[in-house]
Structure 1
Amino acid sequence: MGRRNSGGDEERTPGMAVTPSAEFPPLSEDELGALRRIGEQWRDVRAAADLPIDPALRRHPTEPAAGRFGRLAPIEMFQVGDPGELVATEPANVPGTRAGRELTRIRRAIFGPPLSSAAVLYERMRKLVALPVLSSDLLSSVAYGPEAMLAVLVLAGAGALGLSLPLTAVLALLMVAVGLSYRQTVVAYPHGAGSYVVATDNLGARPGLAAAAGLMVDYVLTVAVSVAAGVHAVTSALPGMSRFTVPLGVLIITVLLAGNLRGVRAAGNLFVWPTYAFVVALLLLLVVGYVRAAERGFAPVAPPPVPAAEGLGVLLVLRAFASGAVSMTGIEAVSNAVPAFKPPEWRNARTTLSWMIAMLVLFFVGLTVLIHLSGLVPTTQATLLSQLARVTFPTGPWFGLVQAATALILLLAANTAFAGFPRLLFFMARAGHAPRRFLHMGDRLAFSDGLIALAVAAGLVFVAFRGHTEALIPLYAVGVFLAFTLSQTGMVVHWRRRRDGGWRRRAVVNAVGATLSGLVLVTAALTKFTEGAWVVVIAVPLLVLLSLAIHRHYRTLDRSLALAPSPNGKRALTPAPLPGAVEPGAPAEAQELPQQVRHLVVVPVARLNRASLRALAYAASLGQPTLAVHIAPEDAESDRFREQWRAWGDHVRLETIVSPYRAVIGPLAHYLEALHVSRPDVLLTVIVPEVVLRSRWHRPLHNRVEQRLRRALRPLPGVVVTNLPVHLSE
């Protein structure tokens, strides 16, 4: 892992940076050594010096430049870079159809033109942009966190509401402790490391995956619940829109997806003002509210009488504490997104995190105390924040402005998940615990696949619950505090391992954060199990098992394809054989040297026409042994085809297979498999002619046997399938 040492210098590890090259990891030293040894046995193999085409695309300026790209000539797409290297000057992904070109224009109009890989350094966020992008979820939680805590306390009657003040003090201590812990995480892992990376690095793969699973559930719920809360705020103001709750929510998720697909900077510029508007609105609310409270000597207003529905006990207090802890969701987003900051990344990320924690504590404590001084109680008719705004601003437009800013921040709280979820999948994919497609950066240097996956998952949850996701809110505390606990425990192990200057103080800070987070985790799991926390108990192990299965697949793949050394430290290679000699027992997949490869070219021929004759000519031009295979439904047709073959000249060995049940693909695939079993050292190259249709509307007019044949042959070991396209003439 990339870390900072006690002197402040980064210990950079190649491939750790979040760049477009992350999906192309470098070879290890062992693999480079094996590659050199294999290359030594290529010393007697020389490619032809004279190529029939100039690979540098040098041509005379007066030569025609027409091609499938129209006016965009091939040479104009590239400029010469280093020796043996061309640099594409355009995206060069122009589709070949008019409809495709129109879709490309629409796509670029919505998302913007593609960005060069070199622009990744400029697609970073400065602190003033990163703050609203990464804090929208954290700050929006103060709109419902205090109310969630008071809604539990009021079950014991209005007299129990006074406990909100000591609970708020404990929650503020928890926020500061966890915030300080993550400040240390940002410094220790300057390349970006949320709970998954920290827990995996210090506790092992399974704890890391458990942390990742908790965060994945939290991110999906953040989008679904935030959009549901925002839509509810809109439909409360406009009751006539209530019947459009589901399509409106899906539309909002789509808009958030489109905004984030435009890139980090574009998303930050798009969502910056609503967050700052909410911050200004809350500051104004607190200032005016406390001024009015000071006018009456900070004497609390007596709350209206509320009958007790439950007895006041330890369990109820713990439930209220766990409910208030949902205000901390989103606190980890900065540690995941460190590489998205402008340099110095870790310092800017740490400063932004400090601002976020300060604002969270200020708003949570300030609103809770002001609600207590105003004598407000939770009701089903209006939120506590709405009641507080109405009491503070009885006249004028300020109440409406506070409500509008609250609705916007609730809707945009989902943007924090769009910033964190794709990066979490990136780190998981880099370690092989998620599909590697999540390593890929899209046209706008955003993790497009991760963004789309989050939008689809959140959209399904939103639609499944028809925009009523209140039952899922209790899951927040369980998932996110599972990640907090594992992350901070991992940081304690991290400092104990390093033991550099001040490690004990740092370990104590993280230990306090881990202990408090663990207490909240246990409290939330026990008190909210029947309210929906059981879903996390099921979802987390399932996601962990899925990630382990993905990792096993990639481990098997890497073991099969890597240039791994043999047990004695050298690559297990056979001695260089004489030209043309092949070890009979060598599997085709292990043929790494030209001397080990022996070919048999097989051409399936259904009928003798221009496509099949072109395939036969192509096969013969390779200068390798060639075999033609014909599948006949009966003996009579087999005899007729052999007569046609002799009329052609019988230039290639022909084998006919009679298939009395009229199957074509199955007998041919089994025949080729039998050939491979009889001589595993021979590589079968199957050349399949395919007619390229000019219009997709013509496809139903053809049985497309060649495509089915390719699919059937592709899984066979030792068989290479080559497609030879034959284009229809005008």
Structure 2
Amino acid sequence: MVRRDDEADGEGEAGTVVTPSAEFPPLAERDLAALRRIGEQWYEAPSPRPDGELPVDPTLGRYPGRTVPGRFGRLAPIAMFQVGDPGELVAAESATAPRSRLGRGLIRVRRVVLGPPLRSSAVVSERMRKLVALPVLSSDLLSSVAYGPEAMLAVLVLAGSGALGLSLPLAAVLAVLMVVVGVSYRQTVVAYPHGAGSYVVATDNLGVRPGLAAAAGLMVDYVLTVAVSVSAGVHAVTSAMPGLSGYAVPFGVLTIALLLAGNLRGVRAAGNLFVWPTYAFVFALLALLLVGYVRAGARGFAPVDPPPVAVAEGLGLVLVLRAFASGAVSMTGIEAVSNAVPAFRRPEWRNARTTLGWMISMLVVLFVGLTLLIHLNGLVPEGEATLLSQLARVTFPTGPWYGLVQAATALILLLAANTAFAGFPRLLFFMARAGHAPRRFLHMGDRLAFSDGLIALALAAGLVFVTFGGHTQSLIPLYAVGVFLAFTLSQAGMVVHWRRRRGPGWRRRAAVNALGATLSGLVLVTAALTKFHEGAWVVVVAVPLLVLLALGIHRHYRLVDESLSLHPSPNGGRPPMALAPLPGAVEPGAPAEAQELPQQVRHLVVVPVARLNRAELRALAYAVSLGQPTLAVHIAPEDAEADRFREQWTAWGDHVRLEAIVSPYRAVIGPLAHYLEALHTSRPDVLLTVVVPEVVVRGRRYRPLHSRTEQRLRRALRPLPGVVVTNLPVHLDD
């Protein structure tokens, strides 16, 4: 990862760009050196025919884009490949189409919903300009003002209506926190111009485990962002139309599915879908604030007395801290820009920093403005209508404006989860690149979106939403802990970053990040302690479990890499599943799973034979044609059947050695698998190639009529080392 120390001296540096090739990392220098040493020991086996007599023209010169072999040897008039660079073919879009009629139908539906696939080279054009990136990445941050002030007041009102006046100083402190954390993340964008959320920053500066803790907090936050945003949006809809309250959960699940489909269309397409709802919400709230303050000014800004509320809890420091932590949920999504810097147009870091500045400015104006206006109108939280709905009703008592504000609010809340859909897959990408998440999250789908990460987020958020019945207030207590854990670790990591770099102005930058880390840590501790019994314990437990899971994944990938590496392990010994010694003499007696040179491989071809028909004889012919020792194995249920099969075998000519195994309990797969395992144990230097004939029928309706023994055998033999299973298909005409 290349980092930028300041704005001036790093503008021309190259960095790591997220492309479809990220899941295919290049070999290191020591791997290339080992590969050369292996190649020096390799000899090419003699070819049975000259290159000019190959059965397939590798350049497709014989098929210049007119016809290609189709299913079962028929010719299809589809150009599947084009000749690219010398020795290279380029697959056409049609080459990815499935052969079955059902598969082609599903592909057509997918194209209608998600659009046609994009070429890998289009990843550069799938970038966002600032006016598109602002609504895409700020929808969560800005929409939180619709429920953040209400979450704060819902705690204060427990001490009676007289405690609601504390909302103003708390809003002022939260505004300072927003500015400090926002400026801190602007510095993070400059220092890490190629995408660095809390996970990358904390890992780079504090270590692996703090980085994973930040990642775990962010993952929980992203999942809750979707669940909370959708539940708040559904609540906004039911506030305006109470008759729909019974359909809240199905409506929320449908919204998550639509968000998933929109994001699977790609970054740019998703941005175009979600631009206008965010801008409509911002303009609606600005109009609400403008008209509301004009009305308040007409009465001299005298606050309206709130209705009397019974005291449910005494006013104390703990209650105030709980209210502060609840109001801090308005900051969720503030780090989305730093995580998605590569999604911006060039210069990425400069556009990202500008966008983040706009976001923070709008957040402070909307949060403080709404909190003060709610106080001036004497509004208190109610169960049926949200505070924003009450404020819009008071500000626009007549006309269509109330409906427009509610519609814009509901729409932005429902679509605010899009910020999580933009950040969660990229977080998993960075984790997978470091080996802390499954490598499938490195893969880009056919629309150049991280499809697996998007689907994982939708499933997790949908489960949380359904589990909590779509109740916003039940989800809020889980919200602040994870995100402020990530904020705290990220800002602390930036302090270490500046101390290491010590560039111009590093003390000032480190002081800003230190202040952000301190304030974020205060919110983290407050939320964890005061909301522990309200549900925050779930996050406190989930974060360590996610860290342990990530460490386990990394441990597994490390063992795999060591086992498959081309160079010896760092401690000088051979890895647990080392392939072969790189330099030096050949080891003819090496285990079959440790053979990588052709002169090391010793074969035994095994053909399971049930009955002597055309499929079995074809498998035997194929096995013998390989020119290797061949053994036929027959599993008989009793001695009499074994004797009858030997007679048939003798009549055929006894061309291959036969081993008949009597299975009195009529099992086939188990005895065969144990026999092959015994063969491998007795001669571990011999590679067993099992040739299994497979009858293939075209019609799906006939498949249940066949036992599919070959698939069961493949599953049973897969765990055995040194055993290769080859299916020899025999196609039948229906």
1:704 is aligned to 2:708: yes
* Kept after mapping to 2: 8 A contact 1:30/1:565: no
Cα distance per residue 1:241-297 (max 9 Å; x no partner)? 222222221111111111111111111111111111000001111112222233333
Cα distance per residue 1:14-70 (max 9 Å; x no partner)? xx4211111111111111111111011125656675133111111166986562398
* Kept after mapping to 2: 8 A contact 1:576/1:595: no
* Kept after mapping to 2: 8 A contact 1:34/1:565: no
Shift of 1:97: 2.2
1:649 is aligned to 2:653: yes
Matches within 5 A, 1:156-167: 156-167=159-170
Identity of aligned residues (%): 81
**From 588, 607, 619, the counterpart of 1:583:** 588
Partner of 1:17: 17
Partner of 2:581: 572
Counterpart secondary structure, 2:96: coil
**From 683, 686, 690, the counterpart of 1:682:** 686
> Which range is displaced more, 493-502 or 111-120?
493-502
1:462 is aligned to 2:471: no
What is the letter of the counterpart of residue 302 of structure 1?
D
* Kept after mapping to 2: 8 A contact 1:31/1:564: yes
CA–CA separation in structure 2 for the residues paired with 1:382 and 1:96: 54
**From 284, 287, 290, the counterpart of 2:287:** 284
**From 253, 257, 263, the counterpart of 1:254:** 257
CA–CA separation in structure 1 for the residues paired with 2:340 and 2:326: 27
* Kept after mapping to 2: 8 A contact 1:192/1:335: yes
What is the letter of the counterpart of residue 395 of structure 1?
T
Cα distance per residue 1:84-113 (max 9 Å; x no partner)? 110112242222222221111111011101
In the superposition, relative to structure 1, how do residues 72 and 270 fare at CA in structure 2: closer, same or farther (>3 Å)?
Answer: farther
Matches within 5 A, 1:84-123: 84-123=87-126
Partner of 2:505: 502
In the superposition, relative to structure 1, how do residues 595 and 601 fare at CA in structure 2: closer, same or farther (>3 Å)?
Answer: same
What is the letter of the counterpart of residue 3 of structure 1?
R
* Kept after mapping to 1: 8 A contact 2:281/2:409: yes
Cα distance per residue 1:498-517 (max 9 Å; x no partner)? 22222222211111111110
Partner of 2:602: 598
In the superposition, relative to structure 1, how do residues 449 and 62 fare at CA in structure 2: closer, same or farther (>3 Å)?
Answer: closer
Counterpart secondary structure, 1:215: helix
What is the letter of the counterpart of residue 454 of structure 1?
L
Alignment root-mean-square deviation, CA: 2.0
What is the letter of the counterpart of residue 680 of structure 2?
H
Counterpart secondary structure, 1:727: strand
In the superposition, relative to structure 1, how do residues 91 and 492 fare at CA in structure 2: closer, same or farther (>3 Å)?
Answer: farther
1:224 is aligned to 2:233: no
In the superposition, relative to structure 1, how do residues 239 and 370 fare at CA in structure 2: closer, same or farther (>3 Å)?
Answer: closer
Partner of 2:529: 526
How many pairs are equivalent?
722
> Which range is displaced more, 567-576 or 268-277?
567-576
Counterpart secondary structure, 1:723: strand
Partner of 2:561: 558
1:8 is aligned to 2:13: no
CA–CA separation in structure 2 for the residues paired with 1:88 and 1:392: 60
Counterpart secondary structure, 1:628: strand
> Which range is displaced more, 3-12 or 26-35?
3-12
Cα distance per residue 1:596-620 (max 9 Å; x no partner)? 1111111111111111111111111
What is the letter of the counterpart of residue 420 of structure 1?
G
What is the letter of the counterpart of residue 584 of structure 2?
P
Counterpart secondary structure, 2:730: strand
* Kept after mapping to 1: 8 A contact 2:38/2:583: no
What is the letter of the counterpart of residue 464 of structure 1?
T
CA–CA separation in structure 2 for the residues paired with 1:61 and 1:229: 58
Counterpart secondary structure, 1:4: coil
Partner of 2:495: 492
1:627 is aligned to 2:631: yes
Matches within 5 A, 1:225-374: 225-374=228-377
Superposition TM-score, scaled by structure 1 size: 0.95
Counterpart secondary structure, 2:632: strand
Counterpart secondary structure, 1:542: helix
> Which range is displaced more, 155-164 or 65-74?
65-74
Cα distance per residue 1:107-158 (max 9 Å; x no partner)? 1011101111111111111111111111111111101111111222222222
* Kept after mapping to 2: 8 A contact 1:3/1:12: no
CA–CA separation in structure 1 for the residues paired with 2:132 and 2:620: 63
CA–CA separation in structure 1 for the residues paired with 2:573 and 2:560: 21
* Kept after mapping to 1: 8 A contact 2:193/2:349: yes
> Which range is displaced more, 301-310 or 122-131?
301-310
CA–CA separation in structure 2 for the residues paired with 1:33 and 1:491: 37
Shift of 1:574: 5.8
CA–CA separation in structure 2 for the residues paired with 1:527 and 1:117: 49
What is the letter of the counterpart of residue 529 of structure 2?
L
Shift of 1:72: 5.0
**From 410, 413, 416, the counterpart of 2:416:** 413
In the superposition, relative to structure 1, how do residues 60 and 436 fare at CA in structure 2: closer, same or farther (>3 Å)?
Answer: closer
* Kept after mapping to 1: 8 A contact 2:236/2:386: no
What is the letter of the counterpart of residue 212 of structure 1?
A
CA–CA separation in structure 1 for the residues paired with 2:66 and 2:651: 43
What is the letter of the counterpart of residue 38 of structure 2?
I
**From 423, 426, 429, the counterpart of 1:426:** 429
What is the letter of the counterpart of residue 601 of structure 1?
V
CA–CA separation in structure 2 for the residues paired with 1:493 and 1:60: 61
In the superposition, relative to structure 1, how do residues 49 and 501 fare at CA in structure 2: closer, same or farther (>3 Å)?
Answer: farther
> Which range is displaced more, 678-687 or 53-62?
53-62
What is the letter of the counterpart of residue 88 of structure 1?
A
Shift of 1:529: 0.8
Partner of 2:577: none
CA–CA separation in structure 2 for the residues paired with 1:136 and 1:493: 31
1:27 is aligned to 2:27: yes
In the superposition, relative to structure 1, how do residues 65 and 565 fare at CA in structure 2: closer, same or farther (>3 Å)?
Answer: closer
Counterpart secondary structure, 1:190: coil
Matches within 5 A, 1:471-490: 471-490=474-493
* Kept after mapping to 1: 8 A contact 2:198/2:211: yes
* Kept after mapping to 1: 8 A contact 2:37/2:583: no
CA–CA separation in structure 1 for the residues paired with 2:464 and 2:564: 39
In the superposition, relative to structure 1, how do residues 57 and 222 fare at CA in structure 2: closer, same or farther (>3 Å)?
Answer: same
CA–CA separation in structure 2 for the residues paired with 1:285 and 1:71: 66
CA–CA separation in structure 1 for the residues paired with 2:473 and 2:679: 63
Matches within 5 A, 1:444-463: 444-463=447-466
Partner of 1:639: 643
What is the letter of the counterpart of residue 636 of structure 1?
A
CA–CA separation in structure 2 for the residues paired with 1:697 and 1:430: 43
Which ranges in structure 2 are unaligned for 5 or more consecutive residues?
Answer: 575-579
> Which range is displaced more, 284-293 or 336-345?
284-293
CA–CA separation in structure 2 for the residues paired with 1:422 and 1:705: 40
* Kept after mapping to 2: 8 A contact 1:689/1:706: yes
What is the letter of the counterpart of residue 348 of structure 1?
N
* Kept after mapping to 2: 8 A contact 1:604/1:628: yes
1:40 is aligned to 2:37: no
Shift of 1:459: 1.2
Superposition TM-score, scaled by structure 2 size: 0.95
What is the letter of the counterpart of residue 542 of structure 2?
A
Partner of 1:713: 717
Shift of 1:347: 1.2
